[in-house]
Structure 1
Amino acid sequence: MTAVHTTARTTATAASTRPAAASAEGRRVLRRVLWGAQILLAAFLFAGSALPKFAGQAQAVETFNEIGWGQWFRYVTGAVEAAGAIGLVVPRLAGLAAAGLIGLMAGAALTQILVLEPAWAALPVVLAVVFAAVAWDRREESRELLRSLKR
């Protein structure tokens, strides 16, 4: 084989691996960004949303009175938020926690639109989009966890 053919083959091989390397680097960057978002959202859900519900903060009590389902629903919502917050920071659970939190955010958006203040429905919708990105990124871990539970 001539030097020209060897150089051409090496160049072609290097060029074909560049997109894969760039893709892997992009995935690592995305994973880091999502981890940052997961940590911030977990802190918000736990400290800023679940704990006030558990502590009986006046605004939380008033909001659940407006909803009309009773204060037991405030505790259930707080428990789901706390569990979701913990799940978001456990790598193996993050995808399933995010998927569950999408459901919670859908309920929150509907409650805002139908009962409380429709303009505030945008916040849970935006959070649901972030949770969807986390669930998508963690889909392999979620599949593996579900497979291991079947065994």
Structure 2
Amino acid sequence: MTAVATTASTADRSGKVLNRTLWTLQILLGLFFIIASGLPKVFGEANAVRIFNEIGLGDWFRYFTGVVEIAGGIGLLVPRLSGLAAAGLSVTMVLAAATQAFIMGAPGLAPFPLVLAVLFAWLAYRRRDRIVVLRKMLSC
């Protein structure tokens, strides 16, 4: 009986530690994407403007990317949306890496967004139950 209680309490503790780790990562990445990544694009920070001019798609794409990153960052901070936001940001980071490597001709800059893509994919996997609940809510 003691072994069962010990195993259950160990599982509870490891689940709590994992949940705290996920929330810490979500908060840090969410704030990063809102403050350091999305807002400079939306407000026209000089470096962001230069980079998007090099891409050649115009200001609309810079604004669009900034809004997507801000929405993803906010979504990471909302429990119900965290899984879907992580999945969306994972796709966004894969596309950012492809842009760095193939459009901007800077493949050396692609690993950073790819690492973020893996982190977001892991977050989405760990929060997959929230994605399922959200899908069921929207299908009613």
> Partner of 2:54 in structure 1?
66
Distance in 2 of aligned mates of 1:27 and 1:128: 23
1:120-139 map, 5 Å: 120-139=109-128
SS in structure 1 at match of 2:80: coil
Question: Counterpart of 1:149 in structure 2: which amino acid?
Answer: L
Deviation at 1:18, TM superposition (A): 3.5
In the superposition, the TM-score normalised over structure 1's length comes to: 0.86
Identity %: 50
Structural RMSD (CA):
1.3
Per-residue Cα deviation, 1:67-126 (whole angstroms, up to 9, x for no partner): 111111001100100100110000010000000001100100101111222111111111
State how far apart, in whole Å, the 2-side matches of 1:130 and 1:20 are: 28
What 5-or-longer segments of structure 1 have no aligned partner? 1-12
User: Aligned to 1:93, what secondary structure does the other structure show?
Assistant: helix
CA distance in 1, matches of 2:101, 2:64: 21
Measured in 2, the distance between the counterparts of 1:61 and 1:138 equals 34
Pick from 55, 65, 68 the counterpart of residue 43 of structure 2: 55
Q: Distance in 2 between matches of 1:138 and 1:55?
A: 31
The structure number with the bigger radius of gyration is 1
Equivalences, count = 139
Which of 40, 63, 66 aligns to 1:75? It is 63
Unaligned runs of 5+ in 2: none
